[in-house]
Amino acid sequence: MTNKEIVLEFYERVFNGHDASAISEYVREDYIQHNPTVEDGREGFSRFMEKFLSMDPHVEIVGSAAEKDLVFIFFKCTMGNGMVNKVCDIYRLEDGMLAEHWDVVDHNVGDIVSVNGHGLF
């Protein structure tokens, strides 16, 4: 399985399947987190995901790419309350597991009207 396939499967099982128990199959114990609101390590990520999944998110992958040990995922994340976020996650994989994470998030973009006629996604 390629790194990109691993990350896409991770999103389907954990984010869309709401299966936090699968995190240990994808995330290294020494996971490095660059989002300042999430703790380092598999356990820190698991604590974040428990809270996140309780908000009933649904992820629609818009695009993905991989280069060497990095995987880029661009997606629309619709929360259970209807809020829409535009997200780009970047992962570094090591030995087939997520080892490091960066993200760029635009929160609550559902009501934004484009002045140039292009959609957000």
Q: Which fold has domain 3-106?
A: Nuclear Transport Factor 2; Chain: A, (3.10.450)
For 80-95, the pLDDT digits (tens) are 999 999 999 999 999 9
Instruction: Measure the CA–CA gap between 103 and 105, rounded to whole angstroms.
Output: 6
pTM equals: 0.93
Q: Which helix (H) or strand (E) holds 14?
A: none
Which DSSP string do the residues of 65-121 spell out, in sequence order? EEETTEEEEEEEEE-TTS-EEEEEEEEEEETTEEEEEEEEEE-S-TT---SSS----
Instruction: Measure the CA–CA gap between 35 and 108, rounded to whole angstroms.
Output: 18
- Collapsed DSSP state (helix, strand, coil) of residue 38: coil
Q: What is the pLDDT of residue 58?
A: 97
Assign 119 a pLDDT band (cuts: 50, 70, 90): confident
